[in-house]
Structure 1
């Protein structure tokens, strides 16, 4: 008889299933739904808008040419990011990595050592992206930059790793250019918001 792990939820009064990572990946394949995975619990990802999707595609496209020249890769929306605390996997909107282990097998579904993570924030995800995810992302040793891209305004918030702190910069307006010097990347807000 196969052992199953369950916990009791005080909020709903029901049992919630605790998944192994293998069961979690099988669930995603079977259902065709993206779930974030937090210490055995799974949480369905909300759907996105056309605006969100356009911004993600624009950011990915802006990074792709540089990534190709430098032997790096850019992934959007459907590749998981392994977090450093606990057993947690999330879906950033854009992942940029140059880590050979992340690039070795293109059939893998997980990145472990990104240089850049981008989240396109909406009203429903803003608090989670700014608070919980940001703090988890900052624990990833390879991460150099974290960008939060607004859907409501032409505005990007940049967190850049310094020696012993994170520098915070706001870029406002379509004329603004974001310099990601450690990656050799320059992105303009006009590129990110093209078609918006």
Structure 2
């Protein structure tokens, strides 16, 4: 979701203080901060679809669902990201109002400008989170969802889901119809593979 243009150089504490005063959001990677770009309507719809389904399913549990404006901290990689959707069930995350450090699930909506980083450097950083069990990538251009799931041997196993299938989120013991996650995103999402557009 961030554009590859360095704006400032900070340590983590200075970033948090600076970011709190900014109008726009910035992700932080090892001393550098990157301005966030705007998103397409379909991106926002998919974010809300997933977050709403998770919120409904996790009512009356200790888990909390956050979207876009809540930071995920990866201390081992010296990063702060703004995931599209994240879920935490860890009581320690209630003690840090500015960020979440122990997410169980993180989801990112892919775009042409961010897909390589979401699959590469960002996923490498997220894998340093001992708490993380499911990393979800939603590709609107092809109406497809990938779930990278951590197994008992600490390997990340890819599970692919296409139209009509049910997405399993094992970390939360949930199954969500892919069509529910992608509802009302197909028309615009289908053009993303040929158009240059912000995330």
TM-score per shorter chain, which class? 0.7 to 0.9
1:181 correspondence with 2:179: no
TM alignment of 1:104-119, pairs within 5 A: 104=95, 108-119=97-108
For structure 1, list consecutive stretches of 5 or more residues without a partner in the other structure.
Answer: 1-14
- Residue 41 (str. 1) matches residue 27 (str. 2): no
Looking at structure 1, the residues matched to 15 and 75 of structure 2 have their Cα atoms a distance apart, in angstroms, of 18
Query: How does the TM-score come out when normalised to structure 1?
Result: 0.85
Distance 1:25 1:69 in 2: 31
Contact 1:156 1:172 in 2 (8 A): yes
Aligned to 1:99: 90
Unpaired segments ≥5 residues, structure 2 = 1-5, 186-199
* 1:65 alignment partner, one of 56, 63, 81: 56
Query: What pairs up with 1:11-30 in 2 under 5 angstroms?
Result: 17-30=8-21
The offset of 1:177, in angstroms, is: 0.4
TM-score normalized with structure 2 length: 0.83
Q: Number of matched residues?
A: 179
CA contact 1:102–1:111 (8 Å) conserved in 2 = yes
Q: Which residue does the alignment assign to 1:56?
A: 47
Deviation string 1:2-32 (CA, Å, 9 cap, x unpaired) is xxxxxxxxxxxxx974224343234333331
SS at match of 1:194: coil
1:166 matched to 2:156: yes
Between the aligned partners of 1:89 and 1:110, the Cα distance in structure 2 is 8
Paired with 1:16 and 1:51, the residues of 2 have a C-alpha distance of 28
- Residue of structure 2 in register with 1:126 after alignment: 115
Q: Does the aligned pair in 2 maintain the 1:72–1:103 contact within 8 Å?
A: no
Q: CA shift at 1:70, angstroms?
A: 1.7
CA RMSD of aligned residues (A): 1.8
Asked whether the 8 Å contact 1:79–1:110 carries over to 2, the reply is yes
Partner of 1:8: none
| Higher radius of gyration, 1 or 2 | 1
- Deviation per CA, 1:100-150, whole angstroms, max 9, x where unpaired? 111346xx1210011100000000000000011111111211111001000
Counterpart Cα distance in 1 of 2:8 and 2:102:
29
